[in-house]
Amino acid sequence: MLNIQNLTTSYGQIKAIRGITLEVPEGKIVSLIGANGAGKTTTMRTIAGQLKPEAGTITFCGQRIEGSRPHQIVKAGLALVPEGRAILGKMTVLENLEMGAFQRNDAQGIKDDMEKMMTWFPILKERLSQLGGTMSGGQQQMLAIARALMSRPKLLLLDEPSMGLAPIVVADIFKVVKEINAEGTTVLIVEQNVKQALKIADYGYVLEAGQIVLDGTGVALLNDERVKEAYLGGRKH
């Protein structure tokens, strides 16, 4: 579904990602893991059209999308839940969800999807008229995911969904991500919570200093000594 070849993106003089290649097959969950500053968010922002790559190609559902505008990429079926959530704080929960569907004009479909969001995220149903900015971090994260899903994406990009959240909330969010995937949405997730990210991943990539240094199935990476040593507090024997 998503194929990235030799992608390079810079901030000024600094090459944040350097020639990375990865793919996300349809119907799967793929995790991109790495330390702070490894280039994970840059990768996500480049895919979503927020940053223009210097080199390389991004092919989504057979179409080249690198350099496209963010709204064109959303229309093509790719939605990003950004790091830090980016909730529209002065808008209600309902208005945030409606904003997620801003490019759609199928009123009944939007209504049906609203119902689905209330099933996946019951807390949102109770808070439809509450301002997004007054919700807790976990509730905002759920709203951010629901808002992205309102665009009916084929591929959902999740950038650090567990950041700053209590472990019990993190467990809930990962559970919902699995359900979303089971219902047919492909997922690419960037995450510092390496254990959780690899547990749910069909496949994973390890990013270090802007380059992919390791890849494999989620299970294989969880059991890889280098991953344990670097990210899971393991020791080499």
Domains and CATH numbers, the chain: 2-85+154-231 (3.40.50.300)
pLDDT, position 83: 83
pLDDT, position 236: 45
| 149 or 83, which is more confident | 149
Average pLDDT, the chain: 92
pLDDT above 70 coverage of the chain, percent: 98
| 204 or 163, which is more confident | 204
pLDDT single digits (tens) 25-39: 999 999 999 988 899
pLDDT, position 234: 61
Cα gap 3→167, rounded to integer Å: 32
pLDDT at 201 over 60: yes
